Amino acid sequence: MIGRHFSTLRVTAVLLAMAFLLAACPAAAPTGGESMAADEEMAEEEAMEEESKVLTILYWQAASLPGPYLSGGTKDQDAGAITLEPLANYDPNGTIVPRLAVEIPTIENGGVSEDLMTITWTLKEGLLWSDGSDVTSEDVVFTWEYCSHEETGCTASEAFLGIESVEAMDDRTIKITFDSPTPYPYNAFVGANTPIISSAQFANCVGSAAQTCNEENTAPLGTGPYRIIDFKVNDVAVYERNPHYHGEAAYFDTVIFKGGGDAASAARAVLETGEADYAWNLQVEPDILRDMEAAGLGTVISAFAGYVERVLVNQTNPHSDLGDDRSEYMEGDNPHPFLTFPPIPQAMSMAIDRTLISEQLYGFAGQPTCNVIPAPLHYVSESNDGCLTQDIDGANALLDENGVLDTDGDGIREYNGIPLKISYQTSTNSVRQKTQALLRQWWLQIGIETELINHDASVFFGGDPNSPDTYQKFYTDLQMYTTGPTIDPQQHLSNWICEQIPMRDNSWGGGNIFRGCNSEFDALFEQLTQTPVGPEREALVKQLNDINVQSFYQIPLVYRGEVSAQLDTLKGVWINGWDSQMWNVGDWHR
Amino acid sequence: MGQYLVRRLLTIIPTLIAISFVIFAVLDLAPGDPTSALPETIRPEVRQQIRKAMGLDEPFPVKYGLWMRQFFVNEPLSLIEKAFGIQIGDGEKRLRVTSWGSRGVPVMDMILERVPQTLWVVGLAYLVAIVIAVPIGVVSAIRQYSIFDQVGTFISLIGYSIPTFFTGLLMILLFSVKLKWFPMIYDTNLQVVDWHSFVEQLRQSAMPVAVLGFFQAAILARFTRSSMLDNIPMDYVRTATAKGFRERYVVIRHILRNSLIPVVTLIALGIPAIFSGAIITEQIFRVNGLGALLIGAIQLNDIPLVQTVTFIFACLIVAFNLIADVIYGILDPRIRYT
């Protein structure tokens, strides 16, 4: 009896001891942080006591690393953009603005060579890294070497394609030489996906050694308004004001870049409780966001880049009777039986109420559009804007005029005896299925019957050559998804030339998914690849957009953006779709 | 007992090796590509380079051998170095298990970074649950079918049938949005240095601890109650009552002590679950503990991290099974191990 009594006591004692250990934990163990120097820690705490100015930014996808080179997510790029800077940024209108560079090199100021083979950048004078050391052109050269080294496994290496060499002409001058004439030379070192990193810091991290550089990867030196002082992987990053910043000193003492949770609660933390100042990428039903915004603490803001939700119109015959020849271009010998007759897709486009779709289904994240190149502004054509108004009567009249009539009285029109029955596929996603349902209803009003199909996104976009349900195979009459150009549309437009048509022979590898071949388009595109940035290039892009839209290869629906939220007390935010949303964080203040 | 312990400890070694092999093999064979989370604009050639840089191209035995060495030799050495601030051999060149999602960051450092908040939040919830559940279970059993028992049963039923993501959201809407008592974002950088920061720590832990504690308490209270009910009709209880002991004495000294034997075992077996965190609750309140770490790693196909975390959980489960057996022996003199 006594022995048992003691045993129970012992167990109770152990449990109690554990309780104390647990309770003491946060106090005793300073969270195993990496390399935060003790004095910095002290300074941070003292600052906190004085009610310091803290900026809290919520990213519901937490950052894995602060920087775009080893981890390709927007969250990582944005965590980096608070401290790392490129030579130039894109502003929200898509204009290039200098950052570390003195000015933007052009042909006019001699920065870009006449033959479009080189571009020469000049760094601002007196630039310093956040540890006080000098920034030189060697750092820029090193950044290129670091990212283009095969064994680094650099996630941004795309931006350095076509570069033959990057040379330091002197301490502040960098010359980039391309391997072929490059009319748009601003892919490298412009925008948050290619910032400059310190050659002194990363010297031993090139190639396969990049995988072992723990301290460098989690605490890169920067040139930006803030510098990183603590980084907890997939959790939180803490920054302080960078005393060596080349611009005006930043307003906040501390920036906290917190990750985790979900989009709806991030929105709530800004709009309803005001705990955070800024929340990124709020993929939340528009009605819920409007309700939260009504609390009056903050504002929902949207950023638009080039993404357009569009319906692709198959120019080839996808009928299942054709077997392996379904949706094969076959040098134009397998045209679609009725969708290649322009009045039919034109009427389908006229019947759509794009404003309704974008307001009801996309909310803050959408605007109606009639173009496949929706931005930047100087590339946007205005000749298709008529599509913004729904015109079902006009669509019916158009079909009647062109002899596409309902001859057998079943409510469905026929073209050359073939009833207008179409299949329409997209990925499984509630917004997309609602869009499908709306379009089907409008098309029924003009005598076209639609069968709706959806595939799981991982299958539809998965690209498995053995699956019949991928967007590349396109075994339906219509399909819908989003793509969009980067800041310069050439790369995007290059997908739509004739030789890019996906087919068996190239394992469905091309980007001309709608399988439309237009010699005029190809000729104008060829011209585009040799035309430098300027009004002539802008006119060409508009023409290319118009050919695509007016041939009804694609029916644009909604110009899609990203939605964030900010507290009303936070000033200076200028949300950016073309660059990091953190691109001007140095200007944020209260 | 001593012999028994030694034997059990020795069998742990092959068990853990077998577990490590199974975990490694299953994850290695599972489909999934760590580069699939990267933006679609990245070309296949670049993806291949990234995979190569991560070491995915190596054959399976090489990868397994390397991981074993890193985990059982290099990691403990690094931990010792860090703990005592000493240098053993050439620490710089020693390869550690590094994450694929956050390239270059040792997996062990990521885990250690998350242990404090998980232990604090989930462990505290567990303690709160025990402190609440045991008395409720005892009173419910003694006053079976009383109002207290009925209400207690009703509340525990609610407790374990409502999922934590719902109670969590409810608490946020009530206490953060409407009343503004507690913050909805858990600050993992908060250092408890004085009274003020301690209060802050309590405030930010209140909601996640309450959500988890409610759920745990509901289960434990039901368990205590039924264990008590098993013991109440026993002969030794009748004897003690016949001897004229006060009810309070009989309940605490006789019934409760015997009823707690299975409960304590249950609690001990539940401790590894504290370390594995509470995936959903951590997610809701942004506690970003071990549960969130694991789920994030799975989503990103960060295999080294998943392997290591899962294996550590396996070790904890094996260890606490042993501890539960030992405690069982200590508590119940009828059980003797040889």
Nearest-neighbour CA in chain B from A371: distance (Å): 22
pLDDT band of A507, cuts 50, 70, 90: confident
Locate the chain A residue with the closest alpha carbon to B323.
Answer: A11
DSSP letter string, A46-86: HHHHTT--EEEEEESS--SSSSSSS---HHHHHHHHTT---
**Does the distance separating the beta carbons of B53 and A234 come in below 8 Å?**
no
Nearest-neighbour CA in chain A from B112: distance (Å): 6
Locate the chain A residue with the closest alpha carbon to B279.
Answer: A261
CA gap B64, B55 in Å, rounded: 12
CA gap B200, B40 in Å, rounded: 43
Q: What is the pLDDT of residue A440?
A: 97
CB-CB contact of A489 with A508 (8 Å): no
**Does the distance separating the beta carbons of B105 and A217 come in below 8 Å?**
yes
**Does the distance separating the beta carbons of B53 and A233 come in below 8 Å?**
no
pLDDT tens per residue, range B260-289: 888 888 888 888 887 776 888 888 899 988
- Give me B269's structure tokens: 């077996």
Q: How many CB atoms lie within 10 A of CB A378?
A: 15
Residues of B in contact with A212 (CB under 8 A): 95, 98, 104
**Does the distance separating the beta carbons of B288 and A234 come in below 8 Å?**
yes
CB interface of A with B, residues 225-244, below 8 Å: 230, 232-236, 238
For residue A340, give the DSSP letter.
T
pLDDT band of B93, cuts 50, 70, 90: low
**Does the distance separating the beta carbons of A26 and B101 come in below 8 Å?**
no
Residues of B in contact with A155 (CB under 8 A): 38-39, 42, 46, 50
Q: What is the pLDDT of residue A239?
A: 97
Q: What is the pLDDT of residue A521?
A: 96
| Least CB–CB distance from B119: residue in A4, A25, A232 | A25
Q: Please indicate whether the domains covering A52-296+567-585 and A303-405+422-437+447-560 agree at the CATH topology level.
A: no
**Does the distance separating the beta carbons of B257 and A8 come in below 8 Å?**
yes
**Pairing of β A54-59 and β A236-241:** unpaired
Q: Is A491 on the interface with B (CB under 8 A)?
A: no
Q: What is the pLDDT of residue B196?
A: 92
The pLDDT > 70 percentage for chain A reads: 92
**Does the distance separating the beta carbons of A158 and B103 come in below 8 Å?**
no
pLDDT at residue A17 above 90?
Answer: no
The letter for the amino acid at B68 is M
Best to test chain A binding among B105, B166, B290, B330 (most A CBs inside 10 Å): B105
pLDDT at residue A45 above 80?
Answer: no
pLDDT at residue B320 above 70?
Answer: yes
- Give me A411's structure tokens: 């409510």
Residues of B in contact with A73 (CB under 8 A): 37-39
Nearest-neighbour CA in chain B from A441: distance (Å): 33
What is the enclosing helix (H) or strand (E) of A558? Answer: strand A554-567
Q: What is the pLDDT of residue A384?
A: 94
CA gap B229, A499 in Å, rounded: 80
Best to test chain B binding among A16, A25, A152 (most B CBs inside 10 Å): A25
- Give me A35's structure tokens: 């390399």
Q: What is the pLDDT of residue A32?
A: 37
Residues of A in contact with B333 (CB under 8 A): 3-4
The letter for the amino acid at B131 is V
CA gap B216, B159 in Å, rounded: 8
pLDDT band of B87, cuts 50, 70, 90: confident
pLDDT at residue A203 above 80?
Answer: yes
Q: Residue A300: which of A314, A327, A320, A282 has the closest Cα?
A: A282
CA gap A323, A75 in Å, rounded: 44
In chain B, alpha helices (H): 2-29, 44-54, 60-69, 75-84, 107-118, 124-142, 147-161, 164-171, 195-231, 235-242, 247-249, 257-275, 279-285, 290-299, 303-331
Output the pTM of the full model: 0.83
pLDDT tens per residue, range A138-165: 999 999 999 999 888 888 888 898 999 9
Contacts of A415 (CB under 8 A, 6+ apart): A337, A338, A341, A344, A404
CB interface of A with B, residues 122-151, below 8 Å: 150-151
pLDDT mean across residues, chain A: 89
Largest CA distance in chain A: 104
Is ipTM > 0.90 here?
Answer: no
Q: What is the pLDDT of residue B103?
A: 83
Nearest-neighbour CA in chain A from B218: distance (Å): 20
Q: Is A261 on the interface with B (CB under 8 A)?
A: yes
**Does the distance separating the beta carbons of B330 and A25 come in below 8 Å?**
no
Q: What is the pLDDT of residue A484?
A: 83
Q: What is the pLDDT of residue A37?
A: 44
Point out the least confidently predicted range of A414-428, B93-107, B240-254. Answer: B93-107
In A391-530, alpha helices (H): 392-401, 430-444, 457-460, 490-493, 519-528
For residues A238-259, give the mean pLDDT. 95
Length of chain B as a residue count: 338
Locate the chain A residue with the closest alpha carbon to B41.
Answer: A158
Q: What is the pLDDT of residue B54?
A: 77
Rg (CA), chain A: 28
For residues A404-414, give the mean pLDDT. 92
For residue B40, give the DSSP letter.
T
Residues paired with A57 in a beta bridge: A257, A278
- Helices B303-331 and A2-28 cross at an angle (nearest 10°) of 150
Burial class (CB in 10 A: 0-12, 13-18, 19+), A382: exposed
How far is C-alpha B90 from the chain's CA centre? 35
- For residue A94, the SS3 value is coil
The letter for the amino acid at A148 is S
Contacts of A454 (CB under 8 A, 6+ apart): A425, A426, A427, A428, A429, A432, A433, A436
pLDDT tens per residue, range B11-66: 999 999 999 999 988 888 877 677 766 666 667 777 777 777 777 778 888 888 88
Q: Is the pLDDT higher at A468 or at A14?
A: A468
CA angle B227, B229, B231 (to 5 degrees): 75
CB-CB contact of A560 with A198 (8 Å): no
pLDDT at residue B146 above 80?
Answer: yes
Locate the chain B residue with the closest alpha carbon to A211.
Answer: B104
Best to test chain B binding among A34, A160, A214, A230 (most B CBs inside 10 Å): A214
The pLDDT > 90 percentage for chain A reads: 75
- Give me A437's structure tokens: 């349902």
Nearest-neighbour CA in chain B from A212: distance (Å): 4
For residues A429-458, give the mean pLDDT. 93
Q: What is the pLDDT of residue B37?
A: 66
For residues A454-479, give the mean pLDDT. 87
Q: How many CB atoms lie within 10 A of CB A521?
A: 21
Residues of B in contact with A268 (CB under 8 A): 172, 176-177, 184
Specify the CATH number of the domain B109-329: 1.10.3720.10
For residues A373-396, give the mean pLDDT. 93
Q: How many CB atoms lie within 10 A of CB B28?
A: 14
pLDDT tens per residue, range A210-240: 878 888 999 999 999 999 999 998 899 999 9
Nearest-neighbour CA in chain A from B119: distance (Å): 6
pLDDT band of B301, cuts 50, 70, 90: confident
**Does the distance separating the beta carbons of B102 and A233 come in below 8 Å?**
yes
Three state DSSP letters for A214-255: HHHHHCCCCCCCEEEEEEECCCEEEEEECCCCCCCCCCCCEE
Best to test chain A binding among B261, B286, B328 (most A CBs inside 10 Å): B286
Nearest-neighbour CA in chain B from A393: distance (Å): 41
**Does the distance separating the beta carbons of B120 and A26 come in below 8 Å?**
yes
CA gap A27, A116 in Å, rounded: 61
Q: What is the pLDDT of residue A479?
A: 96
**Does the distance separating the beta carbons of B190 and A275 come in below 8 Å?**
no
pLDDT tens per residue, range B158-204: 988 888 889 999 999 999 999 999 999 999 888 888 999 999 999 99
Locate the chain A residue with the closest alpha carbon to B326.
Answer: A11
| Least CB–CB distance from A234: residue in B54, B283, B293 | B293
Locate the chain B residue with the closest alpha carbon to A206.
Answer: B53
For residue A304, give the DSSP letter.
E
| Least CB–CB distance from B264: residue in A11, A34, A70 | A11
CB-CB contact of A65 with A232 (8 Å): no
The letter for the amino acid at B90 is D
Q: What is the pLDDT of residue A362?
A: 93
| Residue listed under structure tokens 């594995």 | B276
Residues of A in contact with B294 (CB under 8 A): none
Q: Is A532 on the interface with B (CB under 8 A)?
A: no
Q: Which CB contacts under 8 angstroms, 24+ apart, belong to A384-389?
A: A384/A546, A384/A549, A384/A550, A387/A349, A387/A350, A387/A352, A387/A354, A387/A556, A388/A354, A388/A355
Q: What is the pLDDT of residue A278?
A: 97
The letter for the amino acid at A551 is S
**Does the distance separating the beta carbons of A234 and B296 come in below 8 Å?**
yes
Q: What is the pLDDT of residue B277?
A: 65
- For residue B59, the SS3 value is coil
Specify the CATH number of the domain A52-296+567-585: 3.40.190.10
In chain A, domain spans = 52-296+567-585, 303-405+422-437+447-560
Q: What kind of architecture, by CATH, is found in domain A303-405+422-437+447-560?
A: Roll (3.10)
DSSP letter string, B149-165: HHHHHHHHHHHHHS-HH
In A308-376, alpha helices (H): 343-350, 354-357
Q: What is the pLDDT of residue B89?
A: 66
pLDDT at residue A16 above 70?
Answer: no
Q: Is A259 on the interface with B (CB under 8 A)?
A: yes
